[in-house]
Structure 1
Amino acid sequence: MSHNNPKFEIIPLDKLFLDDQNPRLPKSLQGAKEKDILEYMLLDASLIELMLAIGKNDFFPGEQLLVIQEKEGIYRVIEGNRRLSAVKLLNYPDLVSVQKSKIQQATTEAQYFPKEIPCLIFDAEENIHNYLGYRHITGIKEWKLLEKARYLFGLWKDQYSSLDLNAASRELAKSIGSRKDYVKRILIGYQIFYKIEDDAFYRIPGLDDTTFYFNYIADSLNKPHIANYLGLDVKNIDDIDEITINDEHLENWTRWLFEKNSEGRTRLIGDSFHLNALNKVLSHNEARAAFIEKGYSLDLAIDLTDEADSQFYNYLNSALSQLQNSDRLVVKVNVRHAIVSEQLKEIRSLAVKINRSLQEKEEDEDDI
C-alpha cells in the first residue's frame, strides 16, 4: 500500500479511536483519555450540531475518515475526529458527563446510528500529512493559527529538521501551497509560543494554550521594531534551534497583550492598527521610554512620534465620514431632535475647539 493508493475499507466503530495527538487539541489534552477529548470536543467544536446532522442524514460515505492501523483491529483516526466523536456519542452517549440533555435530544431525534464507518487506510501517518497540510492550512477546512503552527512545527521536526530554516520553510511552503516567508514566521513564532508556554504563560490569569492568540506573534514578527524588541532578526535566522529571545521583553510583550487590569482590559489590543502603532513607538527613543518606563498609554506614546500628524488626519477624516453618513440618513430616521441635541452641541463644540487650537498654534509659531 502506498501513499497514492490508500485502501478503502468499511471499519466497525468499536475499532476506531480518536487521535490523542491531534494538533487541534491543546497541549494539556495531548495524550489524554478518550472521555476527556470527547468532552473538550463537545465544549469547543459544536459537536451537537454534527450529531444532529449525522443522526438525520446518516454518515456521508464520500467523507471517509483517514486512518492508520496501529495494530490488528485497532485504527487511529488522523482526519475526521469530529465526525468520529459525533458517531461515538450517538451510539454511546454515556461516554461523557457533560451536555447530557443536549446529547439525549440528539439521540432521541436521530434516525441513523452508524456503526460501520467508511475509511481510507494509509500505511503511515506521515503519508497523510501533505494532504492535511493543504486541506487545513490553505485549503477548504482551515484550522486556527495555533493549530496550523503546531502542525507545521511537527511536520518540520519529522521531515525537514535536517535542512536549514530557509530551505525547510521553502519545502514546507511548497507542500501546503503557501509562501516561504509566512512559513518561516510561523515556525519561529511557534518557538516563541513554546517559550511562553514553558514559562507557564507568566502566571497571567486565564491565559493558556486555549486562550492564547497565536496571530499576535505572527503579526508582531512582521513588524521589524517589535521583532527587534524581542531580540529577533527574522530574515537572518537560519537555525531554529539557535533562536535567542530577550526573555524580559518577551514577558513584557505577553503582559501588554494578555494581562487584564481591574476593568478587564489589556494594555494593548492585538489588531493590526495597534501593533503598527506599537511598532512605531518602539522605533522612537522618547516614545519607547515613555511607553515602557513611564507607563504612558499607547495613544500618549504615539503622540511623541511623527505618527501623531497621520493619526490626526485619520481621525478627522473618519469623523467627517461618519457625520456625512448621518447627514445622508437624517431624512429617513424617526429620531427626535431633543434626544440628539446634546450630542450635536458636543460635536459643534469640539469642531470649534479644534479649529481654535490650530489657529492659536499657527499664531504662536508666527510670533516666534
Structure 2
Amino acid sequence: MAWWDAHFAGGQRGRVPVERLKFDDTNPRYTPDKRPKSGADAAVIEYLDRTADLGELIESIASSGYIDIEPLIVVGRGDDLVVLEGNRRLGALKVLLSPELAAEANVSVPELRPEVRATLAEVTAFKVENEQDARELIGFKHINGPQGWDAYAKALYATRWLDEQENRGEDALSLTDIAARMGDKHDTLYRIVSAAYVLQQAERLDLFRVEDRATRNFSFSHLYTALTYTEYREFLGLPRADRSANPPRNPVGEEHLQNLRILLRWLFGSKSEGIAPAVKTQNPDLAALKKVLGHPAARRVMLERSELAPALEMTIGGSERFDKALVDAHAALKIAAGELSNARPDKALLELAGDILRRAQLIELNLRSVPPPRQRSAEPPQAGPSESE
C-alpha cells in the first residue's frame, strides 16, 4: 500500500500535503535548450522563476491565498507522488512555505498573513493510474490552450505521445487524432512533429546536437518553417508532406544525410566547431536561403562558402543588380545632402565627390544612349510564302 492511498480513499481526487509532492523531472517544458541545472527542488524553482513567470504567481498567492479550484494532476512513480500538471503552482507553494528553499533558489517571497498561510499546506490533487491517462488534458492545455508551451516543447510532447501509440494496434491514435483532440485545426502539430523527427534523426546519427548550437536560444521555428518550403525539402530529399499519414520517424534518406548536417549548421551553427549560423533571423534570412537553394549556381556557392550574402548575389540578375545599386546610391546621396551643414572641407572628400559626379554622368550618358525596349507591334506579322508557292 502506497503512502498516498489514504489521501485518495474512495476516488481519484484527494487533499495532499504540498511537502510530499515531487516535481516531474520529465516535464515537457524541459527541452535540451531549456532545463534546470539539476533535479533538486531549488534548481527546478530557479528554472521556473526564470522561464515561467513564477514570481507573478507567488505574488498572487501571497496576496489572496491559494485558490484551490483546479486540482494538480499527479501519478505514482515508485515511492513518489509526482505532479504531471501544476509544477509551476507547486513551485510557488513550496517557496512560500519554505523561506530557506526560496533563498536557495534566489526567489524573493513576501511575508504571509496567517490566513494566507493556512491555505497553502494541502492542495487538491487528481491521481491518474498512468501518465498516458493525463496526456489529453495536459496536451489541450499547453499545446493549443490558454497556457501554451513554446513550439519545441509542444513538438517533443506530441512526439512522445505519438510514439506511445506505436504498439497499440487498432486502438492507436494517429497524429490526426491527437491534433483533433488538441483542437489543432491549422496543421501546426503536423509541421512541428515532422520537424522534431528530422531533428531527432540528426541527433541519433550524431549529425547535430541542440546543445551544440552556436546561439543562446534554440530557434526551432527556423526548422519547422523551412520544411514547409519545396526548396528545403528537395535539399533533404523529402517528398511532399502527406498529412493524411503520420510523419516518418527517419524522414531523411541516407544519400541526403550530409545535406541534413549542413542545413542544421546553416540554421543553428555549431559551438564546438566555431560555426556561426548563416540564418541570423527568420525574416529575411530564411527566405533568402530558400532562394539560394532553388538556384543551382547560388546553391553551389553556399555549399562551398556557407555565406548567405555572396550566394544570394548569385540569384540576382545583372539588370536587378544595376537597379538595386543605383537606388541604394541615390538613397545614400540623399542622406549626405541632408548632412551638408555638418560637412568639413577636405581634399579627399572633394576628390570623392568629383569621382561620384563623373560616375553619375557616365551612368546618365549610357542610360540616355540605350534604346528603349522594343514595343511589340499590335499588327499581326505578315505571313510568309506557303510551301505550295
What is the deviation of 1:180? 7.3
The higher radius of gyration belongs to: 2
Determine the C-alpha separation between the residues in 2 that align with 1:257 and 1:60: 44
User: Where do residues 260-279 of structure 1 align in structure 2 (5 Å cutoff)?
Assistant: 266-279=277-290
* Identity, % of aligned positions: 22
* 1:303 maps onto 2:313 in alignment: yes
Determine the C-alpha separation between the residues in 2 that align with 1:34 and 1:204: 25
* Structure that is richer in helix per residue: 1
Which of 245, 251, 269 is the matching residue for 1:243? 251
**Structure 2 runs not aligned, ≥5 long:** 1-10, 345-354, 374-389
Determine the C-alpha separation between the residues in 2 that align with 1:313 and 1:161: 60
Which of 20, 24, 27 is the matching residue for 1:19? 24
Determine the C-alpha separation between the residues in 2 that align with 1:170 and 1:308: 48
**In 2, are the aligned partners of 1:145 and 1:215 still within 8 Å (CA)?**
yes
- 1:43 equivalent in structure 2: 50
Determine the C-alpha separation between the residues in 1 that align with 2:311 and 2:176: 39
Aligned pair in 2 of structure 1 residues 82, 279: CA closer, same or farther (>3 Å)?
same
Determine the C-alpha separation between the residues in 2 that align with 1:97 and 1:87: 14
**In 1, are the aligned partners of 2:201 and 2:249 still within 8 Å (CA)?**
no
Determine the C-alpha separation between the residues in 1 that align with 2:162 and 2:364: 57
Determine the C-alpha separation between the residues in 1 that align with 2:159 and 2:261: 22
* 1:282 maps onto 2:293 in alignment: yes
Name whichever of 236-245 and 110-119 sits farther off. Answer: 236-245
* SS of equivalent residue, structure 2 residue 84: strand
What is the deviation of 1:338? 4.5
What is the deviation of 1:143? 0.5
TM-score by length of structure 2 reads: 0.69
**In 1, are the aligned partners of 2:278 and 2:306 still within 8 Å (CA)?**
no
* SS of equivalent residue, structure 1 residue 59: coil
Determine the C-alpha separation between the residues in 2 that align with 1:200 and 1:209: 19
Name whichever of 149-158 and 40-49 sits farther off. Answer: 40-49
Determine the C-alpha separation between the residues in 2 that align with 1:211 and 1:300: 26
**Structure 1 runs not aligned, ≥5 long:** 1-5, 327-334, 342-348
Determine the C-alpha separation between the residues in 2 that align with 1:308 and 1:83: 61
User: What is the Cα-based RMSD across aligned positions, in Å?
Assistant: 4.7
Aligned pair in 2 of structure 1 residues 115, 229: CA closer, same or farther (>3 Å)?
same
- 1:254 equivalent in structure 2: 264
User: Where do residues 291-330 of structure 1 align in structure 2 (5 Å cutoff)?
Assistant: 291-293=302-304, 295=305, 297-305=307-315
Which of 178, 182, 192 is the matching residue for 2:188? 182
What is the deviation of 1:303? 3.0
**In 2, are the aligned partners of 1:65 and 1:118 still within 8 Å (CA)?**
yes
What is the deviation of 1:229? 1.1
Aligned pair in 2 of structure 1 residues 38, 99: CA closer, same or farther (>3 Å)?
closer
What is the deviation of 1:211? 3.2
Counting matched residue pairs gives: 340
- 2:385 equivalent in structure 1: none
- 1:330 equivalent in structure 2: none
Aligned pair in 2 of structure 1 residues 198, 242: CA closer, same or farther (>3 Å)?
closer
Determine the C-alpha separation between the residues in 2 that align with 1:197 and 1:29: 21
What is the deviation of 1:132? 2.0
TM-score by length of structure 1 reads: 0.72
What is the deviation of 1:21? 1.0
